[in-house]
Amino acid sequence: MRTEEQSQRAIILYSVTGGLAVLAALYLTWAMRALIVPTLIGALSAYLCRPLLNEARRWHVPHKLAVLILLGGFMIGIGRVIGEARSFLTNESNLVILRVRGQYKVNERYNDAKPHLPKWILVEADPLIRGINNRISLSARERGVFIEAVKSLDTESADRFVKYEKANQRNRPRKLAKRKKSTSSSAEEDKDSFLASAFGILSLWIVMPFVFVFLLFDQGQLVKNIVSVIPNRYFEVSLTVLHNVDKALGAYLRGVTLECGLVGLTFVICLWACGIDLRVCLAIGAISGLANAIPFLGPAIGLIIGSSYGIIAEEIHPIIPFITLDNLLIGVLITVAIAQTLDNVYFQPIVLGKAVDLHPLLVIFGVMGGSMLFGMAGMLLAIPVVVVVKVVVVTLFKELRAYSLI
């Protein structure tokens, strides 16, 4: 039998050890915060693939072979996305031409609407348009890239873009040339900095496929190791917590994945009916669908992406008769309205159900906190983390009361 003094020493020892462990865990988490997002994305991806792994087991596919097949598909998908993004973003000619067209179209649309706008809107809009011109106007070096890029276009397109750039130069702020001239001299340093940053990012995100593979290779050993360090009196409680977390997280992730896919598909179909090129529709649909995983901000991101293309579009082949270049922006707005209506009325209630029963304020603060800590990736991962924390806390207190442990 333990004496009262031994019990007090044990309580003090466990309290001090637990406190130090929590502080050490918080410090390591903050020090290695750059690895948190890649690790979580790898873990969530593995979690989403578990049903496929179970299906492969039903077809008597060896476990290791099934994991390697899933890893191959995972890496091919990531490689394809990165390749598509890099093929465009690293092509300076494409970016320069896009900026020229975007600047011209923004100014053209604004000048057409200007006579119809009240003065109080013009007071706010004029500085905004000047700021946009300041941001996207070409520097002297970029105009050289633009001239070379235009040479590879057909005569009609080349003449059109040259006309765009001449109009853009009339809207270019005077102080811009001096500022951009000074920055162009450091182009090599910027390139070196970009390569260093890209290497740093790659070295961090290389952990993602390793987490993906290790979690899929795991066949319950991780859970056994976690449960083995828990005292016997808390064994049933810990199993219940893990089961509820698995159930809630699985329902949320699979529901959100299907919901985002349906929202993205809605964007693709509606924009294609408006006459936008199918590849552009797929890109906008993919971005809008992924953004829909961010509560409240997802619809806004979809609206901004779609509206931006609606402003700069130059050629469409609409299936809907009344859609033209002049009212394409209205078609994009209708598309966003249709997608969000279907999402709120059908997709969320039917597909997602009650997988996430969170107070709106908790969702807002979770998304804002994730954004402050980890940027866009933190916004995407905020709700899954909140779901896990909520399930752990609620289940833990409920089970501890049920087993008369508290």
Q: Which of 8-22, 154-168, 229-243, 344-358 has the lowest mean pLDDT?
A: 344-358
Q: Quick one: average pLDDT of 300-319?
A: 83
Residue 329 half-sphere exposure toward CB, CA atoms < 13 A = 9
At residue 89, the pLDDT reads 54
Q: Which of 336, 340, 346, 323 lies closest to 276, judged by CA?
A: 323
Helix (H) or strand (E) holding 282: helix 278-291
Which token pair is 30? 């903050």
32 three-class SS:
coil
Q: Hey, which bits of 226-283 come out as E strands?
A: none
248 three-class SS:
helix
Does pTM top 0.85 for this prediction? no
Q: Quick one: average pLDDT of 218-237?
A: 75
Nearest 5°: the CA angle 287, 288, 294 is 100
- Mean per-residue pLDDT of the chain: 78
Q: Decide if pLDDT at 186 tops 60.
A: no
Task: In whole angstroms, give the CA distance from residue 46 to residue 209.
Answer: 9
Q: Which of 3-7, 201-205, 342-346 has the lowest mean pLDDT?
A: 201-205
Q: Which of 40, 45, 41, 54 lies closest to 73, judged by CA?
A: 45
406 three-class SS:
coil
Q: What percent of the chain has pLDDT over 90?
A: 2
At residue 90, the pLDDT reads 52
Q: Which of 148, 113, 387, 69 lies closest to 254, judged by CA?
A: 387
Nearest 5°: the CA angle 240, 33, 394 is 25
Which token pair is 296? 């409240």
pLDDT tens-digit readout, 117-143: 888 888 888 888 888 888 888 888 888
Q: Decide if pLDDT at 257 tops 70.
A: yes
Which token pair is 204? 């961090």
Which token pair is 385? 């983390």
Q: Quick one: average pLDDT of 174-185?
A: 48
Top mean pLDDT of 68-82, 160-174, 258-272 is at 258-272
Task: In whole angstroms, give the CA distance from residue 168 to residue 189.
Answer: 28
Q: Write the CA distances from 391 to 201, 224, 242, 249, 403, integer angstroms.
A: 32, 20, 9, 9, 18
> Please, is 271 exposed, middle or buried when counting C-beta atoms within 10 Å of its C-beta (0-12, 13-18, 19+)?
buried
Q: Decide if pLDDT at 43 tops 90.
A: no
For residue 35, the 8-state DSSP code is: G
At residue 398, the pLDDT reads 83
Sign of torsion over alpha carbons 194, 199, 200, 205:
positive
Q: Which of 315, 309, 302, 314 lies closest to 329, judged by CA?
A: 309
Q: Decide if pLDDT at 13 tops 90.
A: no
Which token pair is 194? 């970009």
At residue 406, the pLDDT reads 63
> DSSP of 50-108, one letter per residue?
HHHHHHHHHTT--HHHHHHHHHHHHHHHHHHHHHHHHHHHT-HHHHHHHHHHHHHHHHH
pLDDT tens-digit readout, 51-85: 888 888 888 888 888 888 888 887 887 777 666 66
Task: In whole angstroms, give the CA distance from residue 340 to residue 353.
Answer: 16
Q: In which band, very low, low, confident or very high, does the pLDDT at 187 lie, cut at 50, 70 and 90?
A: very low
Q: At what angle do helices 63-89 and 92-113 cross, to 10 degrees?
A: 60
310 three-class SS:
helix
At residue 265, the pLDDT reads 92
